[in-house]
Chain A
Amino acid sequence: MTKQRAAFSGIYLHLTVLAIVIVAELIGIIKLPIGIGTVIFLPMLYAFALGVVLNPNILKATGKFLSHDSVKLSGTMITVAIMPFIAKFGTTVGPQIEAVIAAGPALIVQEIGNLGTIALAFPVAVFLLRMGRETIGAAFSIDREPNLALIVDKYGLNSPEGAGAMGVYATGTLIGTFVFAIMPPLVHGLGVFDVRALAMSCGVGSGSMLAACTGSLVASVPDQKDLILALAAASNILTYATGLYVGVFVALPLTEWLYRKARPNDIGNPA
């Protein structure tokens, strides 16, 4: 492909995104009350869904003007396009800095809660679904990019652990935004938890999951918007900073240890 055609392919990509964004924002937020709470649909969900539908790997028609290169450029654009969002998110912390510091101990300690992936997913995978060493890669973390790199580094990708991590990564990429938009309003509907706790738990180390989680929470509790954004942003920064280290020194060794206890006779266990 010549440079010129590559440039055009880029323009088509941005124009496609522009069209998707306009349609998604025109539809707007939809709130669907169901018995136990409210299900909230956000424009970013439609944008992702439209992107998938128009993805040249799915739809032959768009393959004519969206080349392999534009899929690649699109991957780069995710990390670039999320930056103004992350910056905007950060600006919500400054004005609320006193409330954030007041919640400081909770903010720091709740990072341990990210090990909840193991508490829930490990028994389900090992005892209910009878899965093998895929469990280790799948359950030790939320399996976003830094965690995935860690698994690849330790076990390689062509390993059961690598397959488990990749599977959760791909599933999270496809339905993560949806899950994180649905969950918080329903948990809030239980009426048990402090809204600050629901907000700071949104910082799981993924920009899109953070956006979906806080977006749906703000839509259910609009009068607490500033506080929700500030706490979620602060917690997300902590996860960015600590996530990899928790994975290396705590989550992965713990999951490996649990697996050996649960399946001492698995021939795949390293000696």
Chain B
Amino acid sequence: MSAADIKNTELPAQPEDERKIDIAGHSGLLLVAAVMGLIANWVATGVSPVAALPGMVILYVVSVIGLALARFAPFYLPSVAWVSLVAILITIPGVPGAAYATEKVEALNFLALATPALAYGGLALTRNEFQIARHSGWKIVIVAICVMFGTYMGSVVIADLMLRIGG
């Protein structure tokens, strides 16, 4: 691939600076995502959006808190890490409301919640990304598959050994 191909283009390498994101705007977009999630869950599992709503409200609030922490916390962690940590915290047995939160989010199927993000992902590919994939050629495709296989199997082998040692 020549350098000219990747010049002056929008790149994923400059991710949004999470210390500057507009939380109100993102909360609005998150609302759209929540509705998508409810519908995906409905079609996938038959659980109506009304029945799944309390669970989705919990996930929505957790997500907004995660965004706010990524923005205002004294040290930086990506918002997805904050979202995960808050979600873990509110479901640890013994934490007030944990039983309620755990029960309500049960109504939502985790696979269905990933479907909208992947649909956006397919639509978000830029002309540039298609071009890079095409120009990089077959060698890069082989290396990329080795990279994915390598990271997975590397972790599997080490984790398996550790579990055998630890019992």
Q: Which A residues fall within an 8 A CB radius of B?
A: 13-14, 16-18, 20-22, 24-26, 28-29, 42-45, 47-58, 66, 70-72, 74-95, 97, 103, 105-107, 109-121, 124-125, 129, 131, 134-135, 138-139, 141-143, 145-146, 148-149, 151-152, 157-158, 162-164, 166-177, 179-180, 183-184, 187, 192-194, 196-198, 200-202, 204, 207-209, 211, 213-215, 218, 229, 233, 235-237, 240-241
Contact = CB atoms under 8 A, between A and B. Distances in A.
Nearest to A22: B43
Contact of B123 (A17, A97, A151): A17
Given A77-B33, A171-B136, A201 B156 contact: yes
B162 interface: yes
20 contacts: A14-B36, A25-B112, A25-B115, A43-B112, A55-B123, A78-B117, A81-B37, A82-B114, A95-B92, A106-B163, A110-B155, A116-B157, A124-B146, A138-B144, A158-B7, A164-B140, A171-B144, A211-B117, A213-B152, A241-B77
Contact of B91 (A42, A91, A176): A91
Nearest to B154: A116
Given A83-B83, A119-B150, A95 B125 contact: no
Contact of A162 (B6, B63, B153, B166): B6
Contacts of A25: 40, 43-44, 112, 115
From A169, A213, A214, name the one whose CB has the most chain B CB atoms within 10 angstroms: A169
Contacts of B62: 87, 90-91
B125 A125 contact: no
Contacts of A180: 148, 152
B24 interface: no
A17 B144 contact: no
A149 B44 contact: no
Nearest to B60: A84
A21 B33 contact: no
Q: Is the interface of B mostly helix, strand, loop or mixed?
A: helix
Contact of B89 (A14, A94, A166, A241): A94
Interface in B69-114: 77-81, 83-93, 95, 98, 101-102, 105, 108, 110-114
From A17, A20, A49, A172, name the one whose CB has the most chain B CB atoms within 10 angstroms: A17
B84 A197 contact: no
B36 A21 contact: yes
Interface residues of B, number: 103
A208 B87 contact: no
B26 A177 contact: no
B56 A84 contact: yes
B118 A87 contact: no
A87 B83 contact: yes
Contacts of B152: 116, 180, 183-184, 187, 201-202, 204, 213
Interface in B1-57: 1, 3, 6-7, 10-16, 26, 29-30, 32-34, 36-37, 39-40, 43-44, 56
B92 A21 contact: no
B87 A89 contact: yes
Contacts, number: 439
Contact of B122 (A55, A114, A207): A55
Nearest to B29: A80
Q: Is the interface of A mostly helix, strand, loop or mixed?
A: helix
Contacts of A70: 123
A136 B87 CA distance: 36
A149 B108 contact: no
Contacts of A145: 12-13, 15
A167 B122 contact: no
Contacts of B1: 163, 166-167
A200 B102 CA distance: 21
A219 to B, nearest CB: 9
Contacts of A164: 140, 143
B40 to A, nearest CB: 5
Given A47-B122, A57-B125, A198-B156, A91 B90 contact: yes
